[in-house]
Structure formats: C-alpha cells, structure tokens
Structure 1
Amino acid sequence: MLQVLIDTLPGDPGFWEAYTSLWLESEYKTAFQSPLFLKVLINIIGREKIILSKGIKNVKLVATTLFYNKDGVYHFLSDLKTDHNYFVLHKDLPAGEIQQYFRDFLMEAEKRKLAFRLNSLPSWAYYADTFKKVLAERNMFYKVIDSNPCVILETPTPEELFEATDKKKFRQKLNRLKDQGNVEFEAFTGSEDIDNWLNGMFELHIKRWATTSTPSIYRDETVKEFYRSCIKSWIGQGILIRFSIKLNEKRISYVTALFEHGYLLHHTCTFDIDYEKQSPGLLIIKMIARWMADRGMTKMEFGDGGEMYKYQFTSYQLQHQTVFISGKRNYPFIIKTSLVHFFKENRKLRNFYTANLRPLMLKSGFLKKKIT
C-alpha cells in the first residue's frame, strides 16, 4: 500500500540514502535533482524553508519531490538553478499508484492551504498527463501555462549529429580563427584546472554583457560561489562536462554541459566578445558535436529557453509548462496567476516588458536575473 504525505526535511542521513536510491532508480535521473546538487541548494536556501512530498511503499521511498517556500508560495527546490523540474518517481511505480501519489499529494496540499508555482515542468514526462488529469478532478484552483520550449538536436546516427552542425559558414569562421593562431578544443569531465576555468568563464560572461541592459549576474560574488558549488556537486556526481576553446593558450569560449540519461544537455555558455565575428560561441557547439559523435551520442538538448541561436542546430522542440495550484479562496495567488496568464497571452505587452521594463527592473535590483 502506498502512503503519501507532505513533511519537513528529515534530519537523519537515512533520508538521503533512500533518496539517492530512488533517484538512481527513477526514469530521468536529472542532474538538477541529484542528491549532492539538492544538498547544495538546501545549504543556500536554508532547510527551514523546505518541505517535501513523499510516497512510501513497503517501507521504501518510491516517490518524493522537494519544494522551497518563497513569499508564501512553494516552488521546486531544483528551480533555483535548472532547465527541467521533474517529480522524482520510481521507474517501476505502477500507473495507478502514480495517480494515487498525485491525488494524495494534492489532497494534503489543499488541507494545509498550500500554494504552488511549479515552473519548467516537462510536458513530455510520462506522468504529465496523469498529473494534469488528477488536477482537473480536484476542487482546487489551478492553471497550466506554456512556458519556454526545450529545443533539441537529435539524429539517427552519431555522424549525422556532427553533420547537422558542420555548416560551411562555421568552417569559414573556424578558418579565420585559425588564421589568428593555434586553436585548441578542451573537454574536462573532472576538476582539472577548475578554478582558473571558472574564473575565466565569469570574466568573459561579465565582459560579454557589460554594455547591455542586462549585465552579468556573475558580478555578484555570492552568485559566483553558488555556481562554483553547483559545478563541484555535479563533478562529484560524475555528470558534468566542461568544454572550452583556446586561442593561443587563452580561453575564448566556454560551455558547461550535463549528462542526462543518455544524452548531453547544453547548460551554460559564454564567449569572448572580442572574437564575436568568428562566433566562438557557435563554433564550440560544432566541436562538441564532433566530440559526442566520436562517443556514439546522437542527442544534444539545449534546455530551457528559446534563444534564436539554438534553432540553427536543432531539429525539434518540446514544451515546458508552468502549473499554478492553490485553494479556491486564495484570492491574492489567483489574481497574480491570472495576471501572469494575461501577460503570457499578450505578445505586445510581453515584448514591451522584455525590451523596456525588464532591463530597468534588473538595473535597479528590483528583479533578479535567473542563474544559468
């Protein structure tokens, strides 16, 4: 029998042993919900802000998801730095028990008068339709809104993956870069030269965005430390790879990527703006594709975000969604959700915000840029 409850974060190490086993036996095993990474986030946010929903069957943890409280609304803990937010379910959990897990979780949330904003939910997750079906059956307020797409390059064979990025214009740009000196491609799966590598990435990211209306978040030392902690946790878990391009011993392009259940997720990137004409930020994608093809890989995912440069490479996209949930009398939350929905549906207003309001809000500090 499946028992489902919402609880505070346990203090005993037994929880993390059980969670690690569950994560390893889940369908997705995403880096953003790996045990070491979640511990980093808890140290940043404070354990007192954390709750979790968990499903226990025959004394075994078979489902759990961690959330944190922000201004009275609960978000996925992994949303602090993520491309996707999954519910962590055992891959062998039967369909009926998945349905029960969501039903009992929502019932408990309603009893406790909790509100949730669940960002970056993959609409393609095998349980997504079940979750939305259970939501529709509950006597609660909820709203499902499409958010940023996830764009993907996937090919039948490894060599075709490389060929999809091996375009004439990029070969020409690479040749122009080689005219300026020795070009070297780097790939690190461990902690090799980690401090110099990260400091170089921060420096170029700050330089890249210095003259724009959205300056780099890495000007803030606390953000740098947070990112270092994330990177080191992923290295410890064996799921991070760092790529870079060197020109005459100087790194001019950086990418952090994550191994995600059989493919590579392109996560964070920057490049030296002094070489913008040679497009090192695009050339490195071609080099990564070569590296992947040599290792038999056929899929590169570009995560959360619809930046136009990604569409030069990708073959299809999948939809992320944001789900808002609360009791029907939580009027402030319902009003805010309705405003978010109106904003998402109004392209002119959205474009005005992106081009005018958002830069001003970031500059004033009223709005914080998402850590990516």
Structure 2
Amino acid sequence: MSCGETNTLFQTREWLLPWRRALDEGKLLLIVAECDDQVVALAPLFASEGMVFFLGAGESDYLDFIGDTSHPEVLPAILEAARAATPGFLGFRFHLVPSASRTGDRLRLAAAQLGLACFIEKELPAYEIDMIQHADFLRTTTSRSMLKRETYFRNNGRFEIQRLRDPEDVRTHLPAFFEQHAARWAGKDYQSPFLVPRRREWLEYAVESTGRAGWLRLRRLDWNDRPLAISFSWSYRGVHYAGPWSFDIEHGRHCPGHVILRHAILDALDEGLLVYDLRGGDDQYKSRFPTRTKSTTTWGLYPPGD
C-alpha cells in the first residue's frame, strides 16, 4: 500500500476481511492489475444489485484503490473488468475517497475512456490533530475542563480505568459495550448499529484480527463497579483512529464521554503517535481542538442516461 494514494487502517487485510466475513455484501470482486508481469494495483470491490463498491463501505472512514494507479491504462482496465464481472451493471459508487488522493482525477479520465458519466455524489469533512505541533495544547486542554469532569467521578465514587490490547481480553468487554451503546441511543432518531447481529459480528472479528496485528486499543472506565464509558481505537502507522465508543446515559450530564476522550488523547500522546484522527463528520466536540480539516468524496460513475 505504500506506493498507493491512500495508506490507512481501512485498506488493510486485517480490516477488510472481518468486514467481508461478517457483512458478506454481494459478490466479491478482487481485481489485480499488472504491468510488465508485475502486480501494480489491487481493487478490493464487491458488486450488489448491479452496483460496484469498495469493500469496507459503511464501516470505514477512508477508502481507495490499493497500489499504483498512476499509469493511464490501469484504472480503466480495473473498471472495465469490474463492469464485465457484474451482471446487470448499473454503475460504480466509490465512497469516502480522501481529498488528498489523485484517484478522483483518475476516475474522471477513466470514466471518459469507458463512456461513463462521472459525478461527485457527496463530500464529507474529516478532522485530525497534529499531535507533534499541538502536544502542549492537548496536554493543557486535557488537564483543565476535561479533568474537572473526571474529578467529579473520582470524588463521588470509585473510579477505575482499564486499558486493553489483547483481543481475548477485549472480547470479554464486548457485551457490556453493545448493551451500553444500545442504551445510549435508545429513543433517539439514530439507533445503535450494534442492535444488528451482523454489525456485532463485524466488531468481534475486527477485534480479533486487528488485535493480533497489535493495532487495537480499548479503554473502559468504571464507576462504582459499573461501566461508565467504553471506547475503541486503532493505532496504525503513527495515526490514532478513533473507533466506536459509548457512555452511560444516566450520567450524561457529567460528560463521561469527555472523560474517556481525555484518556484516549493522553494515551496517544504517551504512545508517541503523530496524528489523532477524529473521523468524518462535524460533531460539536471536535471544535474544542486545533484540528486541520480534510475531506472525503463519494464518486459515482454511470452509463450515460442513468
């Protein structure tokens, strides 16, 4: 992946195999491109109801082709092979391609060669923190208002924190996480995805595969022997990728989410990570940090008139 446009957690085998195993969406299309008898690129795709997508769609923050697609014949050949392998082909939809990737420009050129119309279907902001440049700011921030939230729990009960990396240890905390996450969103417009068995299976498989690779991080806060907040994250190539998290809604007015975020930031600093990726979306809590904004684009390629 080092020679490609995008090299994140979400292009790894350890991330994509659990997605495929649990969600099993459509027909698998793994397309390999070769130049001069050398593999130069891989397209991890699947087809469903005539549409072709990246593997990992729905559980990933950044998606892209793997390897070098700079040669002008590579991407058109990949797309043509995927189109030919998809009965009742309707089009391509490539979610969450990073703005820094040149894939968007190459998709436009490839679409023109193949007689397809190319559209930007959606753009989504994403935020990250440069942990080297802003290390002092982060330590100051986490020692002020965020620490005050934690002090409440420490002064009014028994407060404990666990940090786990071993997948077998992490698995034992999944039932508590699923229960808390469902309760957090009960009665709201948004429902916990972990009410769906396949989504729970995906996280179980991802815990196993990413844990074996050494990337998995879990934090659990307990207050008076009950789970207060639980968060997942992954450390990959110097980047902290924030994962799903939950907190006890009964204590929401005391912001346990801020408390566990405080520890996630401090852990990333102590680990010497370079970037703290806050994922996509413009959630309000992100505004308290000195973030830099990037974006992702969902590209659609369709036969003319569709």
Same fold (TM over 0.5): yes
Which protein is richer in strand relative to its size?
Answer: 2
Question: What aligned pairs does 1:278-297 form with structure 2 within 5 A after superposition?
Answer: 278-297=254-273
Provide Cα deviations, 1:1-51, integer angstroms capped at 9, x if missing partner.
xxxxxxxxxxxxxxxxxxxxxx47656443223223333333345587011
Q: CA deviation at 1:318?
A: 0.6
Unaligned runs of 5+ in 1: 1-22, 332-372
CA distance in 2, matches of 1:71, 1:111: 14
Is residue 97–residue 297 contact of structure 2 (8 Å, CA) maintained in 1? yes
Q: CA deviation at 1:186?
A: 2.5
Q: Which residue of 2 aligns with 1:103?
A: 76
Q: Which residue of 2 aligns with 1:251?
A: 227
Matched, 1:241 2:214: no
Q: Which residue of 1 aligns with 2:18?
A: 40
Question: What aligned pairs does 1:1-372 form with structure 2 within 5 A after superposition?
Answer: 23=1, 28-46=6-24, 49-90=27-68, 95=70, 97=71, 99-108=72-81, 115-125=91-101, 127-128=102-103, 130-135=105-110, 137-138=112-113, 139-157=115-133, 159-160=135-136, 162-163=138-139, 165-166=141-142, 168-329=144-305, 331=306
Q: CA deviation at 1:140?
A: 1.7
Partner AA of 1:60 in structure 2: Q
CA distance in 2, matches of 1:84, 1:164: 30
| 3-state SS of paired residue (2:171) | helix
CA distance in 1, matches of 2:255, 2:3: 40
The Cα RMSD (Å) is: 2.6
CA distance in 2, matches of 1:244, 1:160: 25
CA distance in 1, matches of 2:182, 2:151: 27
**CA distance 1:193–1:249, shift in 2 (3 Å):** farther
CA distance in 1, matches of 2:152, 2:175: 27
Is residue 232–residue 242 contact of structure 2 (8 Å, CA) maintained in 1? yes
Provide Cα deviations, 1:249-268, integer angstroms capped at 9, x if missing partner.
43211111122321101121
| 3-state SS of paired residue (1:79) | coil
State the number of aligned residues: 302
Provide Cα deviations, 1:193-249, integer angstroms capped at 9, x if missing partner.
323311111111011111213232222333322321122221123222112222234
Which protein is richer in helix relative to its size?
Answer: 1
Is residue 161–residue 298 contact of structure 1 (8 Å, CA) maintained in 2? no
CA distance in 2, matches of 1:236, 1:161: 33
Q: Which residue of 2 aligns with 1:336?
A: none
Unaligned runs of 5+ in 2: none
CA distance in 2, matches of 1:277, 1:46: 39
RCO higher in structure (CA 8 A, sep ≥6): 2
Is residue 166–residue 286 contact of structure 1 (8 Å, CA) maintained in 2? yes
| 3-state SS of paired residue (2:157) | coil
